[in-house]
Amino acid sequence: MTDPQPHTTPATSGALPAPATSATLPAPATRRSAATDLALIASFAALVAVCAVLPAIPVGGPVPITLQTFAVALTGLVLGPRRGFLALLLYVVVGLVGLPVLSGAVGGLGVLAGPSAGYLLSFPLAAALAGAGSLLARRVAGRWQVPALFAAATVASLLVVHPLGIAVMGWRLGLSPTEALTAGAVFLPGDVVKNVLAAVVAAAVLRAYPELRRR
């Protein structure tokens, strides 16, 4: 008499596949990336606010240097066009809401009636343009990267900040085009100095935090 053979169930080819995880893996990384972006945007908006309320730096010339436009250029060069734009947009909105974060430690919609309103409103666009130039400058290696970053910041100043600022200043003060250009030109030497400083600092930051180059 033979022992009964145990009944076995053959393996079927229709077994349920293991759940795919590839669709869910990027979610934590995406959340981390968004959180990092928000932190950078808020931090650089705060940096612009601090530079705006600091006292002017006397340099012996007709116009003292303030650090607000330095922070605007630095924000664009480091954060790039999208985050640079959002950081300066946040700064402008917070100031217009009423927080005293604008130049001279003032805030509120009343600043739009002043002669400097054009400069203020130009900041988000200037940061975006400087950031776009920074993306190109980051491809430049070695000693030429700082000059490339300086060029990006200067283009933003000349194409956005000064045209909008001078136009609104001339309108608010009732100046002729020549008078408005003359009044706005006195800020150019200080902007050159600040753009050089912004380029040097941005290059150092991008070297210290190379992940910012890829963002």
pLDDT of residue 58: 63
**pLDDT exceeds 70 at position 162:** yes
Q: What is the dihedral of CA 132, 83, 64, 199, to 10 degrees?
A: -50
Q: With a cut of 70, say whether residue 24 has pLDDT above it.
A: no
Look at residue 144 in the predicted model and tell me its pLDDT.
Answer: 93
Instruction: State yes or no: pLDDT of 215 exceeds 70.
Output: no
Q: How far apart are CA 41 and CA 107, in angstroms?
A: 20
As a whole number of angstroms, the distance between CA 167 and CA 116 comes to 10
d(CA 172, CA 168): 6
Instruction: Look up the pTM and report it.
Output: 0.82
**Does 208 have pLDDT greater than 60?**
yes
Token readout for 124 is: 């988000």
- Determine the pLDDT at residue 23: 47
For the structural domain made of 37-214, what CATH number should be given? 1.10.1760.20
Q: Three-class SS string for 115-164?
A: CCHHHHHHHHHHHHHHHHHHHHHCCCCHHHHHHHHHHHHHHHHHHHHHHH
pLDDT exceeds 60 at position 4: no
Band of pLDDT at residue 98, cut at 50, 70 and 90: very high
Question: For residues 197 and 70, is the Cβ–Cβ distance under 8 A?
Answer: yes
Query: pLDDT at position 183, please?
Result: 87
Rounded average pLDDT over 41-70:
81
pLDDT at 158 over 80: yes
Residue 124 pLDDT = 98
Asked if residues 198 and 74 have their Cβ atoms less than 8 Å apart, the reply is yes
* Vertex 35: Cα angle to 30 and 41 (nearest 5): 125
Residue 150 has pLDDT above 60, yes or no: yes
Q: Residue 19 CB: number of other CB atoms within 10 A?
A: 7
Residue 126 CB partners (closer than 8 Å, separation 6+):
72, 73, 76, 88, 156, 157, 160, 161
In this predicted model, what pLDDT tens digit does every residue of 123-138 receive, in sequence order? Answer: 999 999 999 999 999 9
Domain boundaries, the chain: 37-214
Name residue 135's amino acid.
L
- Residue 12: pLDDT over 70: no
- The predicted pLDDT at position 179 comes to 92
> With the CA atoms of 93, 204, 39 and 24 taken in that order, what torsion angle do they form, in degrees rounded to the nearest 10?
130
